[in-house]
């Protein structure tokens, strides 16, 4: 990987590896059945703890950089947040060493900043339901400069080297730098657990066991009949009926691949799928995508040779704050099938 020495990329790789380990620890130690985000659930604890971990690392490495993320510490600071606060603090302290509750709040609140000319965006746990089910989820971190995603890293703790999103693997780490390609580390053992040294203030970034990277390339297929469509397990994330109509119009015969989170972009980039549709849910017809749900995955797919646009064929615009407010939905593909996909979208969705 040609730019592994780039400080920003080294920072992102190290931060996402550590965040993935923390997500695994929380998931393994808390009961996951029958809970949902908003309760004192593993995913909520993980969201806060990972955002604190990355906020702390960013303050150490790039103190002038802005972080834009999903969470704020307001709930934890309130009296009602006492039980959650204790859990979050315990996990952050374990990951970073001695710290105070006030420091944890401040690290989380780094993510409450407004986008600037240069900023990082983080989704601590992308794929809430997948995380709770013990299936696919991702930690997603990206650097955006002047409205363009410059680099992205996806940590997918349950994805395997075969990139079959419907099976549980030992984890992959995907990364891309604009103009430099997309790369993936698929070690024989999990990338996220056994060899991570403690995070020390001012310590060397990338001090974990070195990873071996190989280049990612999308599927070259131009046969829509054999296109593998990546679909969310959760029906609420899209318009299921319209996706079915698009697949029928394209003559798709291959079974869909069902999985959650931006891990789907890693699968597309690795050539294990051809299309991904995020249509507008009938329950949320005016929904606009959050930048942290798309930034890291989009650059990894593009640098692997794929294409990503909104449903009208427009490039994703990351210059509009926390949402892609100038875009409607998302369509991602291996590139060769993109025009056919857009034509089907226009016919079905009347866009």
Beta bridge partners of 214: 184
308-326 confidence digits (pLDDT tens): 999 999 999 999 999 999 9
Class level of CATH domain 7-215:
alpha beta
- Fold type of domain 224-349: D-Maltodextrin-Binding Protein; domain 2 (3.40.190)
CA distances from 85 to 19, 48, 337 (A): 18, 9, 48
Segments of the chain scoring below 70 in pLDDT: 1-5, 31-41, 187-209, 235-237
What pLDDT score does 39 carry? Answer: 53
Range(s) within the chain of domains with CATH label 3.30.540.10: 7-215
pLDDT score, position 48: 94
Q: Give the N- to C-terminal CA distance of the chain in Å, as an integer.
A: 40
Which residues, 6+ apart, have CB-to-CB distance to 326 below 8 Å?
Answer: 314, 317, 320
Please tell me the pTM assigned to this model.
Answer: 0.92
User: What's the pLDDT at 193?
Assistant: 43
> Do 263 and 288 touch, CB atoms closer than 8 A?
no
Question: Active-site positions?
Answer: 47, 128
Phi and psi at residue 113, in whole multiples of 5°?
Answer: -70, 155
How high is the pLDDT of residue 38? 52
pLDDT for residue 126: 95
**Ranges for all domains in the chain classified under CATH 3.40.190.80:** 224-349
């Amino acid at each position: 990987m040609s730019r592994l020495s780039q400080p920003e990329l080294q920072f992102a790789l190290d931060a996402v590896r550590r965040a993935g380990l923390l997500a695994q620890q929380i998931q393994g130690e808390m009961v996951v059945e029958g809970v949902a985000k908003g309760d004192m659930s593993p995913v909520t604890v993980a969201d806060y703890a990972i955002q604190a971990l990355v906020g702390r690392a960013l303050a150490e490495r790039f103190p002038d950089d802005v972080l834009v993320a999903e969470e704020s510490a307001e709930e934890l600071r309130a009296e009602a947040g006492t039980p959650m606060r204790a859990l979050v603090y315990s996990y952050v302290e374990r990951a970073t060493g001695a710290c105070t509750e006030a420091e944890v709040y401040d690290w989380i609140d780094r993510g409450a900043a407004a986008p600037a000319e240069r900023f990082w965006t983080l989704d601590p746990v992308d794929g809430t339901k997948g995380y709770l089910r013990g299936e696919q989820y991702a930690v997603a971190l990206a650097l955006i400069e002047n409205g363009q995603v410059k680099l992205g890293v996806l940590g997918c703790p349950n994805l395997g080297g075969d990139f079959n999103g419907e099976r549980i693997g030992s984890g992959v780490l995907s990364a891309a730098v604009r103009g430099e390609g997309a790369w993936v580390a698929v070690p024989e053992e999990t990338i996220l657990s056994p060899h991570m040294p403690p995070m020390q203030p001012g310590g060397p970034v990338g001090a974990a066991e070195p990873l071996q990277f190989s280049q990612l390339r999308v599927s070259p297929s131009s046969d829509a009949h054999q296109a593998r469509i990546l679909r969310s397990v959760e029906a609420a994330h899209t318009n299921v009926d319209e996706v079915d109509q698009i697949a029928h119009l394209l003559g798709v015969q291959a079974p869909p691949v069902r999985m959650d989170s931006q891990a789907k972009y890693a699968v597309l980039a690795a050539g294990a799928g051809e299309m991904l549709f995020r249509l507008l849910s009938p329950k949320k017809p005016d929904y606009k995508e959050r930048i942290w749900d798309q930034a890291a995955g989009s650059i990894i797919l593009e640098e692997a040779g794929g294409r990503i646009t909104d449903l009208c064929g427009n490039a994703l615009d990351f210059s509009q704050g926390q949402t892609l407010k100038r875009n409607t939905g998302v369509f991602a593909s291996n590139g060769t099938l993109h025009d056919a996909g857009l034509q089907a979208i226009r016919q079905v969705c009347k866009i």
